[in-house]
Amino acid sequence: MSSVMRDLRFAAFQLWRHPAFTASVAITLAIGIGANTAIFTVVQSVLLAPLPYRNPDRLAFLSTHWADSGRNTPRMTGPDGVDLRDQAQTLEAVSLYSGGNEGVQLKDHGVYTAVSWVDPDFSRVFDLAPIAGRLFSDSESHRAALVGEHFAEDNFGSAQGAVGQVIHIETEAIEIVGVLPAGFDFPEKTEVWEAASARPESSSRTAFNYRAVALLRSGVNFDRAQTELSQIERRLQAAYPAENRNKEFLALPLKSAITGQARTTLLFLWAATAVLLLIACMNVSHLQLIRALERRRELAIRRALGSSLAQVLRPVLLEGLLLAVAGGIAGICVAWPLVHLLVSVAPRELPRAGEIHLSLPVLGFTIGISILAALLSSLLPAWRASQVDAAEALKQNIARGMNLKGASRWRNGLVVAEVAGTFVLAVGAGLLLRAMLDLMSRDLGYDTRQILVVDTDAPAHAEADYDRAVQQFYELFPKLQSLPGVRGAAGVMGLPMGDYGSNGYYEVLGNAPPAPDNRPWALFTVTSPNYFRTMEISLKTGRDFNARDSYQGPSVAIISESLARQSFGTGNPIGRQIRCGLDTPKWMTVVGVVSDVRQASPADQPGPVLYMPMAQHPYYANQIHVVLRTSVTPLSIMRPAEHIIRAAIPAAALRFTTMDRMVNDSVATQRFRADLIIGFAAVGLLLAMVGVYGTIAYTVRQRTFEIGVRMAFGAERAAILAGVLRGAGRLALLGVGIGLPVSILLARAASPMLAGVRPSDPISLITAACILLITALTAALIPGYRATQVEPMSALRVE
């Protein structure tokens, strides 16, 4: 032990004597370890940590699957949910819920927040315990609510101060009976949970209006629960052959259901940081190898004086360990702000973002990868040190071009590996960037520029409330359009990229009845007159909605080009009749056809859309997006627009954004991936540049005598520089050649993320190769220039 401690002190002293080397290695490791630690913090918090609820391993999410088509929906019908609740013995409790962003009216204003309607079993599934007040009872449907701790503090000062307060949701007076702790916000950042009936309002077995969660009984696993659900679904198929044919129920762990969409992105980013760590370790190994070569005389003398192989290797390994510890500590310092940066730039839909923090498992992971980094970066230098021949090493003279056999091959091999790893990151960055540019350049079917969007919720509950809301909006639009800088104003339920919308089956009068499994489907959108002109959606044929399309007037509709092709082929749809299951069985006359739009995001393909006038569908017209086409900066008219809307509808809850922002938010996940991979690739390029520079600089130093001889015999300085640059270019091309097939294979595995871009996209591959080649040549310029400045006589006199 005293010998080990002596060697440890000696290793620390050696590192202290070479501060440039020590700092370079520590910083390089800090970058690789810090990036890995930050990404693992996100992975651990989102994917690995148990849900912050009671009995997290027994919580299940119930969904519906169709055996014939393989299609899944994360929803259930009300009757199916009740049947599972009543018949499943493996499930201790089943809760149906629904909701979204809603306007909540307080005493003096309205606020937008996430509201969920939950049945009494919701508290049983999650074993909820309010921090103030109580849970609601079975008899308090639509009369009581629970709120989150943050909502209570923001609006009522404290949790206890919120209990007993009355809020209004869709004109219903709701009493707050309890406050839930800040750590609970299921589902989807909900802040208000309104009591709903244990028996769902929808009795249709084809209307998937609800989501469902369940609590497995103690001792029951998911396989056993799934077996029982399969038995129940067969009974329901026999009892309801038309509605439940091919329908299956799935029970998934709730954590998997919550994190499923984020899993691929996070694991992809984690793999990218692993590549970055390998590049950093190769860089450090390269630096240590050069240092070990420079110390070969010292090592040879120690072997000649009788030191054992272990005594020779130990200082080299201990130096690597000390450097890894320093890199690990620095890596944690890098990871701390990087985690906060990741959370701040993460897409809004990233689940469990509020739970992301450095923890003991993360610190344990950091220690583990620090040790791994020490082993990876020290093994090769230590092995090379063990190959030192004392007699040969004592005769070495770097200045005369003499060195250990094979040393240059190892150095060059490490640089080639660095370039190959960096090429993989650069190709990934190029492909994701190309995919993003492709998404953002797609024709959406409307012009996103200069549009202010106002989420507007006018409270309504009874039929008279909805009629009044429609009338208020129709009177509001001309006032908004009269604002200076406003070119058009309209309202819509079903705005592209928006929160509100509906969809379902429809039928066309006169068409042959379709097969039950092949009924036509479309998005349902409710709009005011002037909507298409405001959004600059092209009217292909027919007319827009107008004031004559009132509730008492003939029912009309406008269809998209995709719907026209789907149901009318090449025929003229104008005058044909169509109906859907939105809210009325009335037949609607088609009066117009408009161009297709991309609805959910630029990545979506345009699909069939059925547009209906707000005045004829008032039950879907109180919670809408008001869109204002402007000739000025959209947000500059936010205050005047808010003043007009609040004067017209005082109780309305409002939220402002722009159409450009909504489109950007719809591709936030793709941008998040691209930004991080581009950052990793940039760091990889920097490390590769350092590696190339170190190798070329050492090679030039090693060849000083040779260069002096060549220049003494008349070699031109340009030829010397060209030779140095050729060596760097050769290393870069070898790295690109090795990284090319690896990049293509990995890109094919990540092809679902590359919407519109081929994994073997030649532009991305060529660009990445050119960047690596330019990087290598740039790194070689300084040592190449130094080589041209060698004085022949000085080089020949070196001993």
- Per-residue pLDDT band for 799 (boundaries 50, 70, 90) equals very low
Query: pLDDT by residue (tens digit) across 613-646?
Result: 999 999 998 889 999 999 999 999 999 999 999 9
Across the range 25-48, mean pLDDT stands at 86
Q: Is 80 exceeded by the pLDDT of residue 527?
A: yes
Model pTM score: 0.80
More confident residue, 31 or 792: 31
Q: Could you tell me the CA-to-CA distances from 3 to 6, 9, 383, 769 in Å, in that order? A: 5, 10, 21, 49
Q: Which of 127-141, 220-234, 406-420, 639-653 has the lowest mean pLDDT?
A: 406-420
DSSP annotation string for 556-571: EEEEEHHHHHHHHTTS
Asked if residue 542 lies in contact with residue 558, where contact means CB atoms within 8 angstroms, the answer is: yes
- Token output for 117: 């309607």
CA distance 115 to 187: 9
How far is 715 from 701, CA to CA, in rounded Å?
Answer: 18
pLDDT in tens, 130-179: 999 999 988 898 899 999 999 999 999 999 999 999 998 887 899 999 99
**Enclosing H/E stretch for 524:** strand 521-527
pLDDT digits (tens, 9 = 90+) for 531-543: 999 999 999 999 9
Residues 6+ apart with CB under 8 A from 199: 78, 82
**Tokens describing residue 47:** 């994917």
In this prediction, residue 382 carries a pLDDT of 62
The percent of the chain in helix, strand and coil, each rounded to the nearest 5, is 55, 20, 30
* HSE toward the beta carbon, residue 427, CA cutoff 13 A: 31
How distant, in Å, are the alpha carbons of 122, 704, 736 from that of 86? 15, 87, 62
* CA pair distance 240, 253, nearest whole angstrom: 28
Whole-number percent of the chain with pLDDT over 90: 38
Bridging pattern class, strands 451-457 and 192-195: unpaired
pLDDT at 478 (0 to 100): 94
CB–CB of 153/444 below 8 Å? no
First to last CA, the chain: 41
Q: What is the mean pLDDT of residues 197-205?
A: 86
- Report in angstroms the alpha-carbon separations of 62 from 236, 513, 773: 16, 32, 53
Residue by residue, DSSP assigns 553-617 as S--EEEEEHHHHHHHHTTS--TT-EEEESSS----EEEEEEE-----S-TTSPP--EEEEEGGG-
Whole-number Å distance between alpha carbons of 562 and 547: 27
| Banded pLDDT at 400 (limits 50, 70, 90) | very low
Q: Identify the three-state secondary structure at position 649.
A: coil
Q: Mean of the per-residue pLDDT values for the chain?
A: 85
Query: Residue 255 corresponds to which tokens in the numbers above?
Result: 């954590």
- Assigned token pair, 527: 């709009």
- Angle formed by the axes of helices 762-788 and 668-702, to 10°? 30
Sequential DSSP letters for 619-670 = GGSSEEEEEEEESS-GGGGHHHHHHHHHHH-TT-EEEEEEHHHHHHHHTHHH
For residue 640, what is the enclosing H or E element? helix 638-648
Which amino acid is it at 454?
V
